Structure 1
Amino acid sequence: MNLFNIIKNKQEYWLVDQIKKEDVSTESYIRELTEILGDWERLEIGYLSLLMDEQFESWLFEKNFNKISSIVEYTRKIKDLPVTKDRLVWHSLAEGLIDEQEYAELYEFCRSGSANKNTKQPIDQVMSSLENELGPEWRKHCYYFLQDGAFAGISIPHIEMGTEDEGRLFYFGVVPELRGQGIGVQIHRVSLELLKQFHATYYVGSTDVHNTSMIKIFEKNGCELRDRKGIYKIVR
């Protein structure tokens, strides 16, 4: 039974996300996660990051997981999106107007001062994981946004691995000096339109429970709270 989505980055890390199903027992989740942990240990992977319902917390602590924080998950159907009348201009990295190094620097700038408590990966590791997780055409998913000719933020819309129509944002961020001005709501709204172009029929987004700014963006763009999970990590 497939009860977890797993993203594997060679020997460095595994990202494991619980798939919640109403008709699945607690014992089934524990049994499958135990198998995953066995493979993780046997293959000597660096660390494993897990998103899972907090009801499993005591068991996870017994298995030497550390809790990083908690996330909330929001969702909305991608239809009848509001018409955008923003001053934003956007391009994908695939257009070749900027290079990968410039995009990496913009990515790093956008994530500075983030309210998310999960440990940040080095930016070179993030960039190398994009192809692994998004495929050979990953540059087509890497968008950057400009307002009045200046960088305003980035967004990386894609279809969730293992699904045909679940839209996700690998990352979404606004440059620090433009935060609190409504730019994030605009970039997020355009990102939903871009997900529609990638044939997503619905969107799922998550953020740290303490990231009230991102939660407000979700709500302003018509997203509804779907779930809450803990973020846990185990290191070899």
Structure 2
Amino acid sequence: MQLFNLIKNEKEYWLVDQVKLKSKSEEDYKEAFTNILNAFKEEQIGYLSLLMDEAFESWLLTNGFRKISSIVEYTKQLQEEVIRTSDLKIHSLAEEGMTDAEFAEAYELCRAGTANKNIPQPIEQVMASIANELGDEWRSNCYTFFHENELVGISIPHIEMGTKEEGRMFYFGIVPSMRGKGYGAKMHRATLPLMKKMGATYYVGSTDESNGHMVQIFKKNGCVLRDKKGIYRIEK
């Protein structure tokens, strides 16, 4: 099994996520990642963003990385029935009730003022990444949530690349005016059956460790802490 998941966006960036396996040693990971790092440098990519166990932090800093933050991962089995809330109206972008540009505006609004410390991409780059990573039917993965015709937030559930059953959210966010009202937990809970319908048997969610609101949403909806990793970045 591969030790890192790698998403490439042409010459702009690489996203690398460590896959933790008990059977592999620290040296195995260092060797595998060194190969990725050398290829990144040879191809003159804009930047590389890495999720990796903080036990490797000193080694990474020595190799030119800087630390952005730390993230926590929570997980939940999706075997049981998940009840969708009735007071939120859910729409897919594929329904054509909203244009791609309007969805991009909603995405931009949702990420304003969040507690996450990771460096945000320009929204044009974000939209291109969604299409690139989720494929031709990406609009079917993009959901908006409304309460009494007022936008609450968006979520983008999908099956993690390289897996058949791991559900993730490319993005999940609440508009500033709706925060602190309990809608986040309802939106999150309503997204899980959408993910299960895609074939996911379990869910993995992550957020910046300083994002206490998102951590509480995970816990409220039955997710348990699975892991913690550092976010590291290097530019060409």
User: Per-residue displacement from partner, 1:38-61 (whole Å, max 9, x unpaired)?
Assistant: 110111101000000000001001
Separation of aligned partners in 2, 1:95 and 1:176: 25
1:81-125 deviation per Cα after TM superposition (whole angstroms, max 9, x unaligned)? 442333100111111011000000000001100100000001111
Contact residue 86 and residue 186 of structure 1 kept, 8 A = no
Query: Is 1:224 the equivalent of 2:224?
Result: yes
User: Is the CA contact 2:83–2:190 (under 8 Å) kept in the aligned structure 1?
Assistant: no
Counterpart residue number, 1:64: 64
- 1:168 maps to 168
Flag the 1:81–1:215 CA change in 2: closer, same or farther, 3 A: farther
Contact 2:110 2:154 in 1 (8 A): yes
Equivalent in the alignment of 2:144: 144
Aligned ranges 1:113-152 → 2 under 5 Å: 113-152=113-152
Amino acid at match of 1:107: Y
SS in 2 for 1:118: coil
User: Match of 2:115, SS?
Assistant: coil
Shift in Å at residue 2 of structure 1? Answer: 1.2
Given that residues 91 and 143 in structure 1 are in contact (C-alpha distance below 8 angstroms), is that contact kept between their aligned partners in structure 2?
A: yes
Can you give the 5+ residue segments of structure 2 that lack an aligned partner in the other structure?
Answer: none
Q: Which residue of 2 aligns with 1:15?
A: 15
Q: Displacement, 1:79?
A: 2.3
Alpha-carbon distance in structure 2 between the residues aligned to 1:145 and 1:183:
9
- Correspondence 1:8-157 to 2 at 5 A: 8-157=8-157
- Structure 1 Cα separation of the partners of residues 208 and 124 of structure 2: 23
Letter in 1 for 2:207: T
Give the superposition deviation at 1:149.
0.8
d(CA) in 1 for partners of 2:109 and 2:196? 27
Q: Give me the whole-angstrom Cα distance separating, in 1, the residues matched to 2:148 and 2:53.
A: 43
CA distance in 2, matches of 1:20, 1:130: 25
1:195-215 Cα offsets, whole Å, 9 max, x none, are 011010000000000000000
Question: Which blocks of at least 5 consecutive residues in structure 1 are unaligned?
Answer: none
3-state secondary structure, aligned to 1:112: coil
> In 1, distance between residues paired with 2:20 and 2:85?
37
In structure 1, give the amino acid aligned to 2:34.
T
Where do 1:203-214 residues align within 5 Å? Answer: 203-214=203-214
User: Post-superposition shift, 1:131?
Assistant: 1.0
Match of 2:188 in 1: 188
SS in structure 2 opposite 1:109? helix
Report the TM-score, using the length of structure 2 for normalisation. Answer: 0.98
Which amino acid in the other structure matches residue 158 of structure 2?
H
Q: Tell me if structure 1 keeps the 8 A contact 2:188–2:217.
A: yes
Output the CA distance in 2 between the equivalents of 1:134 and 1:80: 26
Instruction: Tell me by how many angstroms 1:35 deviates.
Output: 0.2
Secondary structure of the equivalent of 1:233? strand
- Give the Cα–Cα distance (whole angstroms) in 1 for the partners of residues 19 and 84 of structure 2: 33
Which of structure 1's runs of 4+ aligned residues deviate more than 3 A? none
